[in-house]
Structure 1
Amino acid sequence: MADDIPQLTVRAHEGSRLWTLRAPAGTMFGPVVAGGSVHVPLAEGRIVALDAHSGGLLWCSRPLTDPDPQALARADGAVVVPVRRDAERCGFTALDPASGEVLWERRKSPLVRLAAAGPTVVLWGEAGEDRGRIAGVDARTGETLWEDEFSRIWDLLVCGPRVVLDVGDLRALDARTGEELWTQESAGFGALLRPEAPSDSVVFHCWSSHAVLSVRATGTGEEISRTRFPRRTVERLTYDPALVDGERALFSAPLKRRIRLYAYAGRDRAEPLASPSLGWWRFTSLSERAVCAGDRLYALTWRRRLYQAGTNGTNGGRHLMQPVGLTAPDGRTLREPSVLAAGPEHAFVGGDGAVAGVRDGEVRWVVPTNLWRGTPVPLGTDRVLFRSVTEDGRWAGLHCADADTGRRHH
């Protein structure tokens, strides 16, 4: 570990899995969770890694040149970070996940996107003449294992040891060798989706006269099921859904006023579960996509309000979303909510100087952060990460707090 890193301290409750990382204010930025570790960007292009369970400090990298930590990928044997990225070129630096030492560096190339597939890093292009190029790189050594080229790569999804591509048709490649495993004709223009729940399947969301979800086995490409959605979903909400629990599809979008939740697993036609909307007198619309946590839907509006609705509408009946007052039982209030994240049971809201935890449509806690905006990051089923700054502005903290109470180590 480098000797000239910023002053860092970790405080933890023994046995509780709650911890806080402290650093001088202005030297620490938003965390990225990957591979059982929490990666925190620091000033001067450094990245620090902590054990997600205990908060133990694992390593701090040397300064990297213009890194993009939010796009890092954790492969077996390396943490790969994009560096010196611009519109058409990108470099990559691979760090040892145990020590943070540099394993290899790749100069700027037209392959600007990356994904981890076990011991392999998959790189591909997305612009100009290089938007169909793809390569597999050994995560530990940086050696190029294979290269291929298509007319265009519209979408890519890693599924275990396989890479599934939308190149007009759907194709699967062995991530280690580049060998083509199967090819299946796609139903049209769409996007590849992966269910939240563990599954050996990939979902292709196709737009045609109706919205269609085609569930395919990743091993063979065989279509397991095909679910059609009502025409109004296409006409009014033309975007890809979020897949919830591998059984439900959640449609929402910025500038819209309605959310639609459908059951699709094992159905030829989707079953409407809920279709809540904002009342017209609200004079507002959604500012970002809605989220699902437990049996509740949550959404933020342009008027800086949080709304919620249940997920089990009667026969898919429409109902109005209800505002959530962001005042905790202890009287603390979050004002101007601007960011929203969801864990399995909780929604987390960041706003002007505070962060809040919401469960079952009720605010459980509000914690001051002294930050104008900070995105909470769910960690597992029962914890959440968020940042704060002390009132005197001298110290910054990254807190791993209890999702249900907001309790953290000071």
Structure 2
Amino acid sequence: MGVVHLARSPSGLQLAVKIVHRQHAADPEFRARFRQEVAAARRVSGAFTAPVVDADPTAVLPWMATLYVPGPTLSAQVKRNGPLAPAELRRLTAGLAEALRDIHRAGVVHRDLKPSNVLLSDTGPKVIDFGISRPYDSDLRTETGKLIGSPPYMAPEQFQRPREVGPAADVFALGAVLFHAATGRGPFDSDSPYIVAYQVVHDEADLSGVPADLSPLVARCLAKDPALRPTPDEIMAALALHPPSYEAAAFIPAQRRAAPMSGGARSAGADPGSGTVTHVREPGTRSGSGRAQGGGARRVRWAAAGAALLVMAAGSAGAAGFFDRDGAPGGAAGGGGKGAAEAAFEPWVTPLPSSGGPTPVCTGTGDGLYCAAAGFGTGLLDPVDGEVVWSRRGSPGDDAASVGSLPAGVVHASEPGARLRVYDAGEGGELWDADLSAYLGVPFSAGDTLLMTRQDGAAEGLDGRTGASRWVRTVPGHLRPHYALFDQDSGLAYAFEHAADGATTLVTALEAATGRTAWQHRLEGTLTPVGAPGGALVLTAMNAQAQTVALVRYEPARTAVTRLPLPFRMNEPEVVMGGDRAYLLARGGTLLAMDTGGAGAELWRLETAAGRTSPPVLAGGDRLFLSAADGRLLAVDTERGTLLGQTRPRLRAGKLTYASKLPAPVAIGRTVYGMSPDGSVFAVDGRRPAGW
């Protein structure tokens, strides 16, 4: 695909610079894959990979520079010197297991681990070449009939079910690599890749030649069923159980173990893989306070080694606050209960009872976090510790797909074509409900009004507290208006509707409380409103292939239209506005920042390496948060366009679940709340994402 040059930086560092061949640089699909390789390599740079120094995947000839790793590949070493000695083999096993652990913690599946992609340096093995890696949560981009990978080191599911390939496929490849290192041959050998593929799927490997103490571990790695393969952590633990040679023992890092807290300190737990002090709650309903009924919540907490030091560090840094660029407290105002006023912060995780449906969806105010989930219904979680204050179930099979809150102290949950249920936010009592079969979609929150579109195309505004109809009217020019956004400052809700041929879009600004039309204008193109900075309206513009190609700024006071082309086409981007800045997050993980107030200049772009993402959320004045389909929560610096941190993946039974749209995270004060496909809701400190 390219050529790699040995180079030196101005300071004398030796670098390996990969430059893509010109014929591949002209292929947009290859460029996208190279961008993903750069993003993956940057995310996993660490002790067992070659750190990325610089890259430009947008250059005429895309390139990437990593630190040069002196040493042969495992393939060359075995070819020149024969199989590795037992002590060397154990060091290799431990090093590659830890490398995979770090790669998987970064949310990446390598998919092409093989002897030629393992460098043997004097500090241990290094895994290279993330050219076909992908995030846990990405959509497979492999073309039909095209084999991606190296057959002797591919897992059975890569041949049979490529869309289900996950971290366990890398463990299978590790078993095959260890087999090669121990014997000089592959566990499945043939001159024909088709025969190799058959052997991988159907035949058992002959482990003769693999040292007896490693043979059972290699056999487990080569299990046909991904669920039967060990995790990298389990491989490292298994190595430590056997009496190793001195060299191997020195190479295996010690596993952290829980340790009791001294004195009467409140016990905390380590969120597995995150290094963050947290606690996990088994959900229940809180008793007392007149807020809810039911049994008290049971808590499961454990102490983490070094927790006291982490708590002291959090306390000393806590005075800094979560501030925006002007020094004002960032995020929504803390309110309600023991809420945001407390200086100390403790992350938490609350699993919600689930029937295996989509990821929970939540909304929040300073008074609480309101969540809905299949099997749980709708409920209020205390934003400080995640305790379930109250929960309500709808009719059987009537599981909410959306949840919202209104300033009138109500929370509403609904699913298209089912029922709308509205609850008192504090006590959880049901205030009213409505049959949504007479309406299109679900209600749109606009201040204390719920906006609805009837099946006959008429627009209606309902009082959020009582359900009474405030107004009903046909919006001129609209057959079935769709609501895109609500501007709290002006009280205007923006409805839009595309012409049948996609040539124009009718946009109407309505007063949400009265239904009165403030202004209406027909704009050229297939447009969708995304923000209303300073009285203007910003919309995305799509081409005939449903790709977003531009932003359009419309100023109703002057009826002025400005078209701001994007630097590249984007697929199904979610957009959030921060003043005149637009942040576009495309399917595939590309995040683009644009200035919509001036010449429409690109401010920065970032490859998040998340295949499917939620809408992004702005908080704290200079931070943007988003969720990935594997349950990761990511934080981005909006000034520099850099990734500040991310949580570990949270999968349901180790597998991805599918939802047509992922719920956006919720930011309240300093806290950011994520919803994950394992059915849990969790809270992290939004001002310290590097420690997630």
Which of 415, 418, 421 pairs up with 1:93? Answer: 421
> How far does the alpha carbon of each residue in 1:27-62 deviate from its partner, in whole angstroms, 9 at most, with x for none?
796241233331233564422212435646543224
Secondary structure at 1:34's aligned position in 2?
strand
Q: Which has the larger radius of gyration?
A: 2
Greater fraction of residues in helix? 2
Note if 1:33 corresponds to 2:355: no
In the superposition, relative to structure 1, how do residues 8 and 346 fare at CA in structure 2: closer, same or farther (>3 Å)?
Answer: farther
In the superposition, relative to structure 1, how do residues 65 and 189 fare at CA in structure 2: closer, same or farther (>3 Å)?
Answer: same
- How far apart, in 1, do the equivalents of 2:515 and 2:402 lie? 23
Note if 1:214 corresponds to 2:553: yes
- Cα offset, 1:260, TM superposition: 5.5
**Residue correspondences, number:** 327
Q: Which residues of 2 match residues 310-329 of structure 1 at below 5 A?
A: none
- How far apart, in 2, do the equivalents of 1:389 and 1:213 lie? 35
Which of 124, 143, 146 pairs up with 2:468? Answer: 143
Please, what is the CA RMSD of the aligned residues?
4.4
Secondary structure at 1:191's aligned position in 2?
strand
Structure 1 unaligned regions, length at least 5: 275-295, 303-337, 391-395
Secondary structure at 1:169's aligned position in 2?
strand
Q: Percent identity?
A: 18
Task: Give the structure 2 partner of residue 320 of structure 1.
Answer: none
> How far does the alpha carbon of each residue in 1:201-232 deviate from its partner, in whole angstroms, 9 at most, with x for none?
4323345898451233xxxx424764323487
Q: Does the 8 Å contact 1:121/1:137 carry over to 2? A: yes
Q: Which residues of 2 match residues 223-302 of structure 1 at below 5 A?
A: 223=558, 226-230=561-565, 233=568, 236-237=569-570, 242-250=575-583, 253-254=586-587, 261-267=593-599, 270-274=600-604, 297-300=606-609
Note if 1:183 corresponds to 2:520: yes
Match for 1:133: what amino acid?
A: A
Q: Does the 8 Å contact 1:164/1:170 carry over to 2? A: yes
Q: Does the 8 Å contact 1:10/1:21 carry over to 2? A: no
Q: Which residues of 2 match residues 359-378 of structure 1 at below 5 A?
A: 361=642, 364=645, 367=648, 369=650, 371=652, 372=654, 373=656, 377-378=665-666
- How far apart, in 2, do the equivalents of 1:203 and 1:340 lie? 20
- Cα offset, 1:265, TM superposition: 0.8
Secondary structure at 2:479's aligned position in 1?
coil
Which of 158, 166, 174 pairs up with 2:511? Answer: 174
In the superposition, relative to structure 1, how do residues 2 and 261 fare at CA in structure 2: closer, same or farther (>3 Å)?
Answer: closer
Note if 1:79 corresponds to 2:411: yes
- How far apart, in 1, do the equivalents of 2:591 and 2:374 lie? 40
- Cα offset, 1:401, TM superposition: 1.8
Q: Which residues of 2 match residues 311-390 of structure 1 at below 5 A?
A: 344=618, 345=623, 355=632, 361=642, 364=645, 367=648, 369=650, 371=652, 372=654, 373=656, 377-380=665-668, 382-386=670-674
Secondary structure at 1:109's aligned position in 2?
helix
Task: Give the structure 1 partner of residue 392 of structure 2.
Answer: 61
- How far apart, in 2, do the equivalents of 1:230 and 1:64 lie? 48
Task: Give the structure 2 partner of residue 279 of structure 1.
Answer: none
Q: Does the 8 Å contact 1:239/1:251 carry over to 2? A: no
Task: Give the structure 2 partner of residue 120 of structure 1.
Answer: 449
In the superposition, relative to structure 1, how do residues 25 and 58 fare at CA in structure 2: closer, same or farther (>3 Å)?
Answer: closer
In the superposition, relative to structure 1, how do residues 123 and 244 fare at CA in structure 2: closer, same or farther (>3 Å)?
Answer: closer
- How far apart, in 2, do the equivalents of 1:67 and 1:204 lie? 34
- How far apart, in 2, do the equivalents of 1:379 and 1:2 lie? 25
Greater fraction of residues in strand? 1
Task: Give the structure 2 partner of residue 311 of structure 1.
Answer: none
Note if 1:192 corresponds to 2:475: no
> How far does the alpha carbon of each residue in 1:218-251 deviate from its partner, in whole angstroms, 9 at most, with x for none?
xxx4247643234875xx4476673543333455
Q: Does the 8 Å contact 1:25/1:389 carry over to 2? A: no
Match for 2:683: what amino acid?
A: C
Q: Does the 8 Å contact 2:625/2:665 carry over to 1? A: no
Task: Give the structure 2 partner of residue 204 of structure 1.
Answer: 539
In the superposition, relative to structure 1, how do residues 378 and 58 fare at CA in structure 2: closer, same or farther (>3 Å)?
Answer: same
> How far does the alpha carbon of each residue in 1:322-376 deviate from its partner, in whole angstroms, 9 at most, with x for none?
xxxxxxxxxxxxxxxx657756536666576x84656664675655757435978
Match for 2:530: what amino acid?
A: L
> How far does the alpha carbon of each residue in 1:103-123 deviate from its partner, in whole angstroms, 9 at most, with x for none?
001123331221112221111
Secondary structure at 2:523's aligned position in 1?
coil
- How far apart, in 2, do the equivalents of 1:214 and 1:109 lie? 36
Q: Does the 8 Å contact 2:540/2:552 carry over to 1? A: yes
In the superposition, relative to structure 1, how do residues 147 and 346 fare at CA in structure 2: closer, same or farther (>3 Å)?
Answer: closer
> How far does the alpha carbon of each residue in 1:5-39 deviate from its partner, in whole angstroms, 9 at most, with x for none?
79555989964243535457647962412333312
In the superposition, relative to structure 1, how do residues 19 and 60 fare at CA in structure 2: closer, same or farther (>3 Å)?
Answer: farther
Provide the TM-score with structure 1 as the length reference: 0.63
In the superposition, relative to structure 1, how do residues 379 and 63 fare at CA in structure 2: closer, same or farther (>3 Å)?
Answer: same
Match for 1:248: what amino acid?
A: R
Task: Give the structure 2 partner of residue 400 of structure 1.
Answer: 683
- Cα offset, 1:102, TM superposition: 0.5
Q: Does the 8 Å contact 1:122/1:175 carry over to 2? A: yes
Provide the TM-score with structure 2 as the length reference: 0.40
In the superposition, relative to structure 1, how do residues 163 and 252 fare at CA in structure 2: closer, same or farther (>3 Å)?
Answer: closer
In the superposition, relative to structure 1, how do residues 227 and 9 fare at CA in structure 2: closer, same or farther (>3 Å)?
Answer: farther
Q: Does the 8 Å contact 1:369/1:387 carry over to 2? A: no
